[in-house]
Structure 1
Amino acid sequence: MRWGNSATASQNTAVYDEGLRQHMLRVYNYMGLGLVITGLVAFFVGSTPALYVPIFSSPLKWVVMFAPLAFVMFFSFKINSLSAAAAQGMFWAFCAVMGLSMASIFLNFTGSSIARTFFISAAMFGVMSLYGYTTKANLAKFGSFLIMGLIGVVIASIVNIFLGSSVLQFAVSIIGILVFLGLTAWDTQSIKDQYAEHNGAEGNQKLAVMGALSLYLSFINIFQLLLSLTGQQDE
């Protein structure tokens, strides 16, 4: 009887582990495809004067700049009432809007520095996400500090839009990179912990979309902040 219980427990563990593996793959696939959409939109707009001139030479640039934030807020408030398909569609739309807001990097930085920064960001992100997935330490205790750091970075970034201080920008970039690297590990562990078979396919798919959004935002911010520090200006 004891052997039978042990065998059943092992089988249940194997089923859970496979489900978790598929869930995490779905999260990373969503995130990866989201980055592709963002990159394609940013490159297309940034290389098309008929599109970027009307946007970035008019007050419309402020709408484009803050549109992703509005998307994230709407997403956060409405996720529970959305179907999995609708949540996924919203995520793709958000990635496209983010690409529009990031088109200016192709006007300001060389292609080689953008590519170099992307791969460095990917390596940093990968290391921290792997740590978050494999560590036995409970990272939840760092959550409140990371959120406070995130709020501070956002406020300082908004203020610096109007101040234009290079010193403040440097400090925000350094602190921001550290905060988002920490959030990458924390979010990865949270995504792993939130997975449960009893959520059902619909529930877990929405969790995968939200998880992809969290990791996507961390990566994008690491990339942008690192680019502001090390990117080579396109003269």
Structure 2
Amino acid sequence: MEYSPIGNAMSLVKVNTFIRSVYNWMFVGLALTAFTAFYVASSETLLQVIFGNKIIFYGMIFGELGMVFYLSARVHKMSAFSATALFVTYSILNGATLSSIFMIYNISSIASTFLVCALTFAACSVYGMVTKKDLTSLGGFMMMGLIGIIIASLLNVFIKSTAMNMIISYVGVLVFVGLTAYDTQKLKEMAITQPVDASGAMVRKGAIMGALTLYLDFINLFLMLLHIFGGSRD
């Protein structure tokens, strides 16, 4: 096959543009979540409404799960505007439920853990982007680990074991570190296979899905680290 520097350059621009869009949307989601969490935590009324009523709290949790599954399953059939609106709404709703961390951990430990998480995430993401090694097998192994974490967490709701909770957190850090590298590598494949679309709708929807995936990796990694290093307010 004849080497085409122009074709390679165009492919590189396409990949970089797509990946930049993914990270921009991920940062938007994280910013909305952080702002909402802090705002809700600063309002006694909102805290009482959300956490004082189990129906509302669990309704929000199941609503978030529903949004993730719906967006993942229907993103190709919905408009770019709908996909974006759903992602933004999810980020805000998740911020409201995550405001509980301000009632459990002190501000300094939340800030320091966030910094550690950001640096760890960045390192894993860079590795996933530059490595020549195929991380598909790693991704499959990490997904099995994620399923194990979910099952163990559900069991621990009834067992209420502090030791198991810590084990889940340590394993969770390893799992989401691996998933971050794997999901970042997948972004390059997504960028290359994005269909040509003059309106940019398909690219936008692909970027939203990529942003949601990395957003979930970041949030879960942060929560796992917070369980390990977070200092109690008491």
Q: Aligned-pair distance for 1:194?
A: 1.5
- Mapped partners of 1:198, 1:36: distance in 2: 29
Q: Which moved more, 1:61-70 or 1:11-20?
A: 61-70
Q: Which one-letter code corresponds to 1:76 in the other structure?
A: S
- In the superposition, relative to structure 1, how do residues 139 and 152 fare at CA in structure 2: closer, same or farther (>3 Å)? same
- 1:221 is aligned to 2:220: yes
Residue number among 83, 88, 92 corresponding to 1:87 in the alignment: 83
Confirm or deny: 8 A CA contact 1:47 1:106 kept in the other structure: no
- Mapped partners of 1:155, 1:79: distance in 2: 27
Instruction: Determine which structure has the larger helix proportion and give its number.
Output: 1
Q: Aligned-pair distance for 1:64?
A: 2.9
Q: Which moved more, 1:100-109 or 1:193-202?
A: 193-202
After TM superposition, the score normalised by the length of structure 1 is 0.93
- 1:173 is aligned to 2:169: yes
- Mapped partners of 1:75, 1:155: distance in 2: 23
- RMSD over equivalenced CA pairs, Å: 1.5
After TM superposition, the score normalised by the length of structure 2 is 0.93
Alignment identity in percent? 36
Residue of structure 1 equivalent to 2:42: 47
- Mapped partners of 1:207, 1:234: distance in 2: 40
Q: Which one-letter code corresponds to 1:125 in the other structure?
A: F
**Residues 80-159 of structure 1 mapped to structure 2, 5 A cutoff:** 80-159=76-155
Post-superposition Cα deviations, 1:148-180, rounded to whole Å, max 9, x if no partner, equal 111111222233233321111101101111101
Post-superposition Cα deviations, 1:48-102, rounded to whole Å, max 9, x if no partner, equal 0001012212213222333322221111121121111211111101101110110
- Mapped partners of 1:25, 1:114: distance in 2: 27
Confirm or deny: 8 A CA contact 1:38 1:95 kept in the other structure: yes
- Mapped partners of 2:216, 2:105: distance in 1: 21
Secondary structure at the counterpart of residue 80 of structure 1? coil
Unaligned runs of at least 5 residues, structure 2: none
- 1:203 is aligned to 2:202: yes
Q: Aligned-pair distance for 1:199?
A: 4.0
- Mapped partners of 2:166, 2:196: distance in 1: 43
- Mapped partners of 2:227, 2:61: distance in 1: 16
Residue of structure 2 equivalent to 1:64: 60
- In the superposition, relative to structure 1, how do residues 74 and 115 fare at CA in structure 2: closer, same or farther (>3 Å)? same
